[in-house]
Structure 1
Amino acid sequence: PITANGKVNRARLLEMEVTFTRENAYQAATNELEEKLVAIWEDVLGVERIGIQDNFFELGGHSLGVIKLMSTIQREFGKSLSYRDLYIDSTISKLAKKIESIEEEYANTIPVLEASELYDVSFAQRRMWIINELNPQSIAYNMPGRFVIKDTEPEEAFKATINALVMKHESFRTSFIEKDGDVFQKIEEYQAVELDIEDLMQLQEEEKYQKMLDAESLIFAQPFNLKESGLYRMKILKINVDHYEVLFCIHHIISDGVSMGIIRNEFFKYYENYKQNKRLPITPLKIQYKDFAAWQNNIIEEKMDEALHYWERKFVNFPDKLLLPERMIMDYDGNDGQYNVVIDNDLNQKIKALVSTTQISVFSLFLSSLYVLLNRMTGQDDIIIGSPVAGREHFETEEIVGCFVNTLILREKINRNERFDHFLQHVSTSVSEAVTYQAYPLELVLENLQMKYPDIQVFLNIINFSDVNELKNSSQYDFSKNVNVKFDMIFYITPLDDRILLTCEYRKTKFKNTDIQHIVGELIKVISDAASHSEKSISEIGLTTRRRLVKR
């Protein structure tokens, strides 16, 4: 579902039923361990009646789901698995045998720090601090959101809910302080938060619309001062007696995509409970983000040599910047662009069939196709694509608001004479290895190699909407406003039941909408041809209009 201006209609998306089909005949669990794993998979995937021969990736599993599965297994069974384990043993039957074969118990809990005036930052926070110091007026790392509440007299519940969130998560009370040439976190004690509610009920529709635009600009499009506590903003607009819009923005240095989901889920959970019972079911966190940061810094120094060696090999003879066919757009209005296309059921079924027969993920197929496309667009054989990973491998980080996300540098060399299906398997293995070593921060790799941060131009990400059914009964939720793109092109894959939503956000300073329409169309041609004829060579797959992509 797409809005009139071409953006994803999140509200309409929430109204859609999302289920996943399976290719294998159902086989029930045969022992207690398999029964427990079935329950875990059903919770992670949002799928019912999972059999022990069903494949995790065929049921809609992806990298974020793998991380959640790994952390749940750590918590429930006290044993640690790698991403590679879950990639190889991707059925419950195989996974149960793998867990039984592991003798060593996972006992590496994250210790709680003693109270202090200042705390160490994480590697991700340090990088964002440096970026902000270079351009303190930037809003590139603002994370905006919007909640639409259809209810009467919600003000008291709003206040209780927001204060509960600020009390529970120290990240809401965090600022950053320079001392002796270094940067530290400072965490303030909890103080009650007062709400900013503006009543627009008496205004005409045109006046309401202008007030909403003004509020969006104030909340979403203003920079944060990282040295001041409270790196978030919120404003509530009363549109009608039973219609409220909550505008929310938080800086990426204390949040990430998973954190936004945590905030959303807890907001609605606390709000509904308070409205019904005048009570809030707040479970205190065992650890906070500052504890994770200190633990991460310590464990990297002690146990990450293998990961460092892996990433150092990946960065040898780092390739040149991609020579993308860019335009110089002079009439830039400050907002970047977004283009969406829905892959229909026919192609989706072919994709599922290829994923099933090759035992690779949808992400690996799209990534391989994007490598091929970029190779043809640029003529370059050594291609870099970035991809974010949740960075929450430890089970104790599941419910914490904070900046855990890490960037994977996915690098492949393309041989046009290689069969696409062989290339696909190679890419899938590379992704598995990269995610296995994801815990090692990119910032530290670059520091050890004395390299500057690479100019990553193209990103690929997969979006999970397994919680759509949970959301649609409560309220609308929309993070599609105010597109501000940090890279030249960012591709998002959103698998649904019988379709796949493919989104490309792009810099309007470099591309016109017609350029992106063509690029996305060519990507789908590659995917379609690969899904039907994966035995073709890379030079033969999909692309039919090379001249237009390479020349302006």
Structure 2
Amino acid sequence: MSIRDAIICRIDENSPIVLSSAQFRLWFLNQMDPDSAAYNMGGSFDWPGTVDGQVLQSAVDHIVQRHESLRTTFSMSGGDPVQVISPSSEISVGIAEWAPDLDRSKREWLESQYRSVADHPFDLERGPLLRVALLSVGPAEHVLVVVMHHIISDGWSMQVFLRELFESYHALANQKQPSLPELPIQYADYALWQRERLTSPAMQNEVNYWRTVLADAPAQLSFPDADPTANDYSGETIHFRIDAETVEALKVLAKAENATLFMVLSAAFKWALYEVTGQTDLLVGTPVSGRDRPEVEHLIGFFVNTVILRTNLEGIQSFRELVRRERDVILDAFSHQSLPFDELVRTLNPKRNSQVPYLSVLMNFLPPTPDSENIVGGSIIRVIETPSVGVGISVRISELKDGIDVRVESAPGLSSAANGICQTVPRILGSSIERLSCE
């Protein structure tokens, strides 16, 4: 039986509820630094029009009761961490209003209020692990702030929460009961299912696959200009844009190679890494949703996983040839994404240093998400970025309506490498488009 064929069943409510593999990692990190807000995630969102605070509270209550993960805390049982699901949980929506006589501008007041919600650490044992606030700066001008701890959520989950919250709000505002998709299972069911699958023959096949793919792989890339004397504050974040016209041309290139835009961009970054490091055996991690089963599509929880894309550039003669090779690498890796990354590292046990093994570079491609850009007729103001702890260079690629925004964050001592990558990628993409137009 394959991993996808295995049925996820409801757990016995009287049994200790284990943590998923990814949850255990965040729980462990929290034990090391319980006062950190590094794994707070969420953001702030425009909400135009009038908002009834009591209806908003009722909508939040409905979503919290619907998703066990939003009523979950973490404690110890028999020497192991477990999930504790409360029958109910009160998440009081914080409501604050800006007054013109305050000695601060609207923008300064919003920033202060936002920080008070977003920057405060969560207590995993006491909870709750969700905060919601409505900030009003006018009768029809509001900002919704939603913050969760990453141990109960991920980017997909935030979309689920917002969509269900606004659907519930509008239903309740019209004296109707919210009509949301049935949830056949809860996150705790998935966590136990995942733990049990780790010892299954199907998962062992996944382990064998990755053992073969990563055989003799370098645990970390070697950046020649890395500064070993850099302090903790010398990292850098670089932004650059790819305009809409270039993006359309890249999509034409992708179609010609039976590839996707992500595959083309991944190939470009691999080429840039080759030019910066001089290495042809390149490993880049990329997040995947971890939701390849219909039961978990509408759940709030920590499902995201990391897949390693290992590409050998030896013998590559052109960028289009690299796109074809990268296409095959990505398709193959994505078909073996069930093994949790933490289990992969534990099983293969590569040599370690301060960086996470196999994750010298992490690349996250975010396709356009209409729900997030216009979920209530407003827009995202800000998204809380969770850190890529132990990653040398983290790349976030966001496809927008007017092009692509690229954000490259480097760890201390790797600013030179990050700058080299950001200079190389646009050049590679531009030259590949020029060659395409000449064909």
What TM-score does the superposition give when structure 2 sets the normalisation length?
0.87
The CA deviation string for residues 416-437 of structure 1, in whole angstroms up to 9 with x for no partner, is 6544333322221111111111
Deviates more, 1:265-274 or 1:499-508: 499-508
Please name the residue that 2:336 is paired with: 437
1:381-530 superposed matches below 5 A: 381-415=280-314, 418-451=317-350, 453-454=356-357, 456-467=359-370, 471=374, 474-480=377-383, 484=387, 486=389, 487-495=391-399, 500-507=403-410, 509-510=412-413, 519-530=421-432
Aligned partner of 1:529: which letter? S
The CA deviation string for residues 46-71 of structure 1, in whole angstroms up to 9 with x for no partner, is xxxxxxxxxxxxxxxxxxxxxxxxxx
Please name the residue that 2:242 is paired with: 342
Shift of 1:521: 3.4
Aligned partner of 2:267: which letter? S
- Structure having the larger proportion of residues in strand: 2
In structure 2, relative to structure 1, the CA distance for the partners of 1:518 and 1:344 (3 Å cut) is farther
CA contact 1:142–1:252 (8 Å) conserved in 2: yes
In structure 2, relative to structure 1, the CA distance for the partners of 1:511 and 1:211 (3 Å cut) is farther
Is 1:182 matched with 2:84?
no
Shift of 1:185: 0.9
CA distance in 2, matches of 1:492, 1:436: 23
- Secondary structure of 1:480's match? strand
In structure 2, relative to structure 1, the CA distance for the partners of 1:468 and 1:159 (3 Å cut) is closer
Aligned partner of 1:380: which letter? Q
- Secondary structure of 1:410's match? strand
The CA deviation string for residues 507-540 of structure 1, in whole angstroms up to 9 with x for no partner, is 475566x986663232011122234448xxxxxx
Is 1:360 matched with 2:259?
yes
The CA deviation string for residues 435-461 of structure 1, in whole angstroms up to 9 with x for no partner, is 111011111122222345416232222
Total equivalences in the alignment: 427
Calculate the aligned-residue CA RMSD, in Å: 3.0
In structure 2, relative to structure 1, the CA distance for the partners of 1:190 and 1:469 (3 Å cut) is closer
Is 1:374 matched with 2:273?
yes
CA distance in 2, matches of 1:450, 1:456: 14
CA contact 1:162–1:193 (8 Å) conserved in 2: yes
1:127-166 superposed matches below 5 A: 127-166=25-64
Counterpart among 208, 221, 239 of residue 137 in structure 2? 239
CA distance in 1, matches of 2:369, 2:255: 20
CA distance in 2, matches of 1:338, 1:223: 27
CA contact 2:135–2:142 (8 Å) conserved in 1: yes
- Secondary structure of 1:120's match? coil
In structure 2, relative to structure 1, the CA distance for the partners of 1:374 and 1:518 (3 Å cut) is closer
CA contact 1:491–1:502 (8 Å) conserved in 2: no
Shift of 1:463: 1.4
Shift of 1:468: 5.2
- Secondary structure of 2:383's match? coil
CA contact 2:41–2:385 (8 Å) conserved in 1: no
CA contact 1:337–1:508 (8 Å) conserved in 2: no
CA distance in 2, matches of 1:375, 1:146: 38
CA contact 1:146–1:478 (8 Å) conserved in 2: yes
Please name the residue that 1:200 is paired with: 98
The CA deviation string for residues 58-108 of structure 1, in whole angstroms up to 9 with x for no partner, is xxxxxxxxxxxxxxxxxxxxxx9x9xxxxxxxxxxxxxxxxxxxxxxx864
CA contact 2:41–2:147 (8 Å) conserved in 1: yes
CA contact 2:285–2:358 (8 Å) conserved in 1: no
In structure 2, relative to structure 1, the CA distance for the partners of 1:384 and 1:470 (3 Å cut) is closer
The CA deviation string for residues 269-292 of structure 1, in whole angstroms up to 9 with x for no partner, is 112222223533345421100011
In structure 2, relative to structure 1, the CA distance for the partners of 1:240 and 1:331 (3 Å cut) is farther
In structure 2, relative to structure 1, the CA distance for the partners of 1:247 and 1:349 (3 Å cut) is closer
Aligned partner of 1:304: which letter? M
CA contact 2:41–2:148 (8 Å) conserved in 1: yes
CA distance in 1, matches of 2:384, 2:93: 22
1:278-289 superposed matches below 5 A: 278-289=176-187
- Secondary structure of 1:222's match? coil
Counterpart among 244, 258, 264 of residue 156 in structure 2? 258
Counterpart among 310, 324, 328 of residue 209 in structure 2? 310
Shift of 1:330: 6.7
- Secondary structure of 1:519's match? helix
The CA deviation string for residues 385-410 of structure 1, in whole angstroms up to 9 with x for no partner, is 11000001111000000001100111
Unaligned runs of 5+ in 2: none
Unaligned runs of 5+ in 1: 1-79, 83-105, 535-552
Is 1:351 matched with 2:250?
yes
Shift of 1:365: 1.2
CA distance in 1, matches of 2:178, 2:360: 44
Is 1:171 matched with 2:69?
yes
CA contact 2:163–2:375 (8 Å) conserved in 1: no
CA contact 1:485–1:505 (8 Å) conserved in 2: no
Aligned partner of 1:467: which letter? P
Shift of 1:353: 2.5
In structure 2, relative to structure 1, the CA distance for the partners of 1:330 and 1:108 (3 Å cut) is closer
CA distance in 1, matches of 2:137, 2:120: 23
CA distance in 1, matches of 2:232, 2:329: 41
1:47-196 superposed matches below 5 A: 108-116=6-14, 118-196=16-94
Aligned partner of 1:258: which letter? W
Counterpart among 188, 194, 218 of residue 319 in structure 1? 218
CA contact 2:44–2:383 (8 Å) conserved in 1: no
CA contact 1:336–1:484 (8 Å) conserved in 2: no
In structure 2, relative to structure 1, the CA distance for the partners of 1:371 and 1:516 (3 Å cut) is closer
CA contact 2:273–2:421 (8 Å) conserved in 1: no
Aligned partner of 1:411: which letter? R
CA distance in 2, matches of 1:170, 1:483: 23
CA distance in 2, matches of 1:441, 1:403: 12
CA contact 2:393–2:411 (8 Å) conserved in 1: no
What TM-score does the superposition give when structure 1 sets the normalisation length?
0.70
Aligned partner of 1:402: which letter? G
Deviates more, 1:264-273 or 1:432-441: 264-273
Aligned-residue identity in percent: 23
- Secondary structure of 1:119's match? coil
Aligned partner of 1:214: which letter? S
The CA deviation string for residues 450-482 of structure 1, in whole angstroms up to 9 with x for no partner, is 345416232222212242598265222234356
